[in-house]
Structure 1
Amino acid sequence: MACCRDFTRSQLMRNAAAEAGRGLPSVEPGMPTPAGTGLSRRSFLERSAGMALAVYGANRLGLGALREGVAAAASGAPQRVLVSIFLPGGCDGMSVLAPVGDTRYAQLRPTLAIPPSTGTPFAPDARLRWSDPAGGLSTLHGEGKVTVFPAIGYDHPDQSHFTSRHFWEVGATDAHARYGWLGRYLDAAGADDNPLQALSLDSDLSPALAPARVPVAAVERPEDFDFWVPGVDDPVKEPMLEAFGDLGRLATSDPVKAGARKVATEVDTVRRQLAPFATPDGNPSYNSPVTYPDSDFARRLAALGAMLAAGLPLHCVTINSDGGFDTHSGQADSLPGDVKGTCDAVLTFQRDLEARGLADRVLVVLWSEFGRRPEENGSGTDHGAAGTAFVIGAKSSGQMIGEFPGLATLDDDDNLRATSDFRAMYCSLLEQWLGFDSAAVIPGASSFDRPTLVKS
């Protein structure tokens, strides 16, 4: 697979936006700054080089408030959880749900078209067929647990990875928006003292979670978090960390000391919450009731299942899938494995939730910044417009939202036309799943339909 320069730049800019002291690479004219750029971050280095857990925001919290806030949230009634999974690079939706019944499909993709005899029929539209690699989603859809958007996007689509992803992350086609759509929701409905209410299961904070005022957190896997001090190990290490947490709660009028003690408090808060998930040598200490695929993405989903089962007060979670979906070339070699890896891991995560009795509390939204062009370029596909998205879970309505528009009439750039808008999906998720008025989060919310995404 070969990815374009725009995709590489997009990844670099987001990494820099969330890594203290690195600054941003140069931004080309018209490209938006990532949501959350400049947001205060406290980073804690781990035993594994280059990894970090960070608590963002929380500048106005009193000493000790984070630990107490997390404890209070964990002792309350369990909240619904929304998990946002991003497929980076622009996933080819027509390789997930293939329009094998459209007469132009084989013409536009003479080498990449999926044979009509493979895969699984898609009952809501006889023209479409689940590809074999998407078997995990097909299985869940057959159980009524996947709501399908076969052609989702927005008006006047932008083929830049960076810009289109930014629009999805901020919930608006606004290049100047600074905060993520979930961050804005949490600013309005979240807690002032619970950084685990929003967790980015990646080394960087997801811009979709970037808030203006409430604390949120990022960690790649819970077992990765550690507080390493050269030359200090057990039996001294644990009492030392306990002492750090206690010292962090001491009052002081010195602003420098207050800042240092706040960091100590934040370290102690998250350390206590994540401690049960790792052995002393840094390996996972949790078990799953199901067997996950052997991939980094699947391992992070397994960790999420364990955190939810342990009662951590998570509410909004983001995670990036493995693989690169920017398939300008070599698509037949790379994409099937990436699609299969993602879909199989999502199926296993659903089975994990069901085995733990948590399935009614968790909803997953699976998305990418755009689809691919219907016509292949030889060995791959270029940036397109409308793509696919999926809302997955026991409480998913299991419907098809918007129709597949067909390949006979494309847009002015010869791309697939959108029949649903990602902002309408967000409005419905906010109102039907999170129980919050979308007008306070999504600009122009009243202009969007409210597709039924959640079972009544």
Structure 2
Amino acid sequence: MKRRDFLKLSGATMMSTSLLSLSQAVAAAEQGEDYKALVCVFLYGGMDCHDTIIPLDDSNYQQWANHRSSLLSAYPTPRTPQNLHALSTPSRFNQRKFALPPEMAGLAKLYVQGQLSVIGNVGPLLEPVNASHLEQATASVPPRLFSHNDQQSTWMSGKTEGAQFGWGGLINDALINTGKTQQTPFNAITTAEADLWLTGSNTFPYHVSDGKAGIIEILEEFDNNQALADYFAGKENSSSNNILQQDLDTLTRSAMAANSQYNDAIANTSFTLPQFPTTPLAQQLKNVCQSIATRQQLNTKRQVYIVGMGGFDTHSGQAQSLPKLQSALDGALVAFNTAIASLGLEKQVTLFTASDFGRTLAVNGDGTDHGWGAHHFIMGGAVNGGTIFGDIPPPELNHAFDAGSGRLIPTTAVDQLAASLGSWMGVDDSALLQIFPNLKNFSGKLSLFKG
């Protein structure tokens, strides 16, 4: 936990913890426990959507292969039709077919089983835009496109770098305001440096690392944590006239109390998760599962989480790096899905991926360059699985949604995706329009969920 986080954190109190067995957790879920969690997996650098959702029908595969020929010859496992994992395709695609790469066999299986879907060509938009609008300079588009920091911020908040609030945090604010959840330090949890998405007016990111509460960096210089705790406990009735000192003491006590509560909840909750891969992303998602298992001790009915994975800025060496990244993503998401099912919460936890942007269809030699729209995954038992939402433009240049070199102009706005997720969490339409004021410019939310 960073300085700015614990300075914001207030109102945390120690709670008694009790032993909660895995069987009790599953029974609670089966009885319709009012709990939901949203998990964002942010892929830093800009995931190459063109090499994730791959055309499989003959004509489109050949077009795609022609554009990607210099990369295809260098991949360790050839991306031939025989090695790709076919996805069933909605009829609106007019017999076009799609597949996942060889390294994503697990996600392909979840898609076939109806536990995962694809969201096609989603990205930041202010209003619907096509290539003609860009050419004629009549389009209103998000500022600073193709910039890593700015587009990460825009995905998370709708604004460029320096934004104050993210839509994950604002969704939680709305849930607090309507009584869907209580305000606790544990409503918004990160295992990565992604505070913005979780920050709202009354929602602040809580950091978790290696299955425990994150370290408060400003206090790391103290060697004796118990002595430090005793010191701040003794300051509770401080008579200092220094207002800043009073506030600092209060907030530090609150942060330390929250850390103790979180660690005690983890230590005193009995659960056994299936094995996770040893990759950094998989271990972050394991931490998320451990946290979700303690939800009753932490006294929260709604939670938003964000985890992160880097390495997707594949300007060069893409054929060597991207398959490894895709394999790690596949293993982590499959393990998470299995673990959530073991907790009996598969219908109450939804995971989705996000990234700075997609990448160019055109190859720059042995890599690809920054794009705009991208294809992403959504996973969970509540999701309308085994389908593709939105659109996937053809694998060619100079079509109606090409911003140049195969940079996809989004056909689905982040606001539409985010509002759909917020609605599932329990946010009403009037609050969603306040959080996403540009939503009125589009055709509405996506039908991502069952029922």
How high is the TM-score relative to the length of structure 1? 0.76
**Structure 1 pair 327–286 and aligned structure 2 pair: CA distance change class (3 A):** farther
- In the alignment, is the contact (CA less than 8 A) between 2:415 and 2:438 conserved in 1? no
Alpha-carbon separation, structure 1, partners of 2:229 and 2:163: 40
Structure 1 residue 385 corresponds to structure 2 residue 385: no
**What is the CA deviation profile of residues 131-183 of structure 1, one whole-angstrom value per residue up to 9, with x for unaligned ones?**
1112222121111111211222234472111222221110x256674211122
Partner in structure 1 of residue 344 of structure 2: 357
- The partner residue of 1:79 within 26, 35, 39 is 35
- After TM superposition, give the deviation of residue 384 of structure 1 in Å: 1.5
CA RMSD in angstroms comes to: 3.1
- The partner residue of 1:148 within 118, 129, 143 is 118
Q: How many residues align?
A: 387
Within 5 A, what are the aligned runs for 1:262-411? Answer: 262-275=251-264, 277=266, 288-311=272-295, 312=298, 313=300, 315-321=303-309, 323-398=310-385, 399-408=387-396, 409=399, 411=402
> 2:341 corresponds to which letter in structure 1?
E
- In the alignment, is the contact (CA less than 8 A) between 2:403 and 2:409 conserved in 1? no
- In the alignment, is the contact (CA less than 8 A) between 1:290 and 1:351 conserved in 2? yes
Alpha-carbon separation, structure 1, partners of 2:262 and 2:156: 28
- After TM superposition, give the deviation of residue 196 of structure 1 in Å: 0.7
Alpha-carbon separation, structure 2, partners of 1:269 and 1:298: 25
**Structure 1 pair 289–178 and aligned structure 2 pair: CA distance change class (3 A):** closer
How high is the TM-score relative to the length of structure 2? 0.77
> 2:433 corresponds to which letter in structure 1?
A
Alpha-carbon separation, structure 2, partners of 1:93 and 1:405: 11
> 2:404 corresponds to which letter in structure 1?
D
**What is the CA deviation profile of residues 274-325 of structure 1, one whole-angstrom value per residue up to 9, with x for unaligned ones?**
235469xxxxx9864311111121112112111211223361111102x410
- In the alignment, is the contact (CA less than 8 A) between 1:199 and 1:217 conserved in 2? yes
- In the alignment, is the contact (CA less than 8 A) between 2:350 and 2:383 conserved in 1? yes
Partner in structure 1 of residue 25 of structure 2: none
Alpha-carbon separation, structure 1, partners of 2:164 and 2:69: 43
**What is the CA deviation profile of residues 115-146 of structure 1, one whole-angstrom value per residue up to 9, with x for unaligned ones?**
22212111116431111112222121111111
Partner in structure 2 of residue 9 of structure 1: none
Partner in structure 2 of residue 57 of structure 1: 8
**Structure 1 pair 368–270 and aligned structure 2 pair: CA distance change class (3 A):** same
> Structure 2 stretches of 5 or more lacking a match?
21-27, 73-78, 130-140
Structure 1 residue 104 corresponds to structure 2 residue 63: yes
- In the alignment, is the contact (CA less than 8 A) between 1:424 and 1:450 conserved in 2? yes
Partner in structure 1 of residue 189 of structure 2: 199
Structure 1 residue 66 corresponds to structure 2 residue 12: yes
- The partner residue of 1:120 within 71, 85, 88 is 85
- After TM superposition, give the deviation of residue 253 of structure 1 in Å: 6.9
- After TM superposition, give the deviation of residue 86 of structure 1 in Å: 0.2
- In the alignment, is the contact (CA less than 8 A) between 1:100 and 1:128 conserved in 2? yes
Alpha-carbon separation, structure 2, partners of 1:268 and 1:356: 27
- After TM superposition, give the deviation of residue 184 of structure 1 in Å: 2.0
Structure 1 residue 447 corresponds to structure 2 residue 417: no
**Structure 1 pair 111–205 and aligned structure 2 pair: CA distance change class (3 A):** closer
Structure of greater relative contact order (alpha carbons < 8 Å, 6+ residues apart): 2
**Structure 2 counterpart SS, 1:214:** coil
Kindly, what percent of the aligned residue pairs are identical?
22
Within 5 A, what are the aligned runs for 1:208-223? Answer: 208-223=197-212
Alpha-carbon separation, structure 2, partners of 1:69 and 1:442: 35
Partner in structure 1 of residue 103 of structure 2: 133
**Structure 1 counterpart SS, 2:212:** helix
**Structure 2 counterpart SS, 1:319:** strand
Partner in structure 2 of residue 88 of structure 1: 44
Partner in structure 2 of residue 182 of structure 1: 168
Alpha-carbon separation, structure 1, partners of 2:16 and 2:103: 40
- After TM superposition, give the deviation of residue 244 of structure 1 in Å: 5.3
